[in-house]
């Protein structure tokens, strides 16, 4: 935590298989700001590359997350995510990008 309200996290991954001549590498940055006891907003950019004998494919994703505490036990999590790839046809319908919306209700007991 950078402060009581601001969180910063970093995640990185690397894997390589000489037998399969393939691997992946990636990184993500996690930023979250707590505005009140009821609401926080996060942003997560992710970048990763898959390598293989047939060539490399890079993808990027950008996610905004809103966390709303409705009660002490019930949280509403809303995410909007944009994925893009240099590889044409990587996503639904042969597009090189896709946007998604996710809404989750989380009950903790």
pTM: 0.81
Confidence of residue 44 (pLDDT cuts 50, 70, 90): very high
The answer to whether residue 95 scores a pLDDT higher than 90 is no
| Cβ(25)–Cβ(47) below 8 Å | no
Kindly write down the DSSP assignment for every residue of 57-83, as one continuous string: EEEEEEEEEEEEESSSSEEEEEEEEEE
* pLDDT tens, residue by residue, 1-41: 789 999 999 999 999 887 777 888 999 999 999 999 999 99
Average pLDDT over residues 38-61: 90
Domain ranges of the chain: 6-107
Q: Which residues contact 36 (CB under 8 A, 6 or more apart)?
A: none
DSSP state at residue 108: -
Please tell me the predicted confidence (pLDDT) of residue 55: 76
């Amino acid at each position: 935590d950078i402060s009581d309200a601001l969180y910063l996290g970093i995640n990185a991954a690397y894997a390589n298989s000489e037998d399969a001549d393939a691997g992946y590498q990636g990184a993500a940055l996690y930023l979250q700001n707590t505005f009140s006891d009821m609401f926080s907003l996060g942003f997560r950019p992710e970048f990763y590359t898959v390598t293989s004998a047939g060539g490399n494919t890079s993808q990027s994703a950008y996610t905004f997350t809103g966390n709303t505490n409705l009660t002490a036990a019930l949280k509403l999590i809303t995410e909007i995510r944009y994925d893009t790839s240099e590889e044409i046809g990587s996503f639904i319908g042969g597009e090189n990008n896709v946007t998604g919306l996710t809404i989750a209700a989380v009950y903790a007991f």
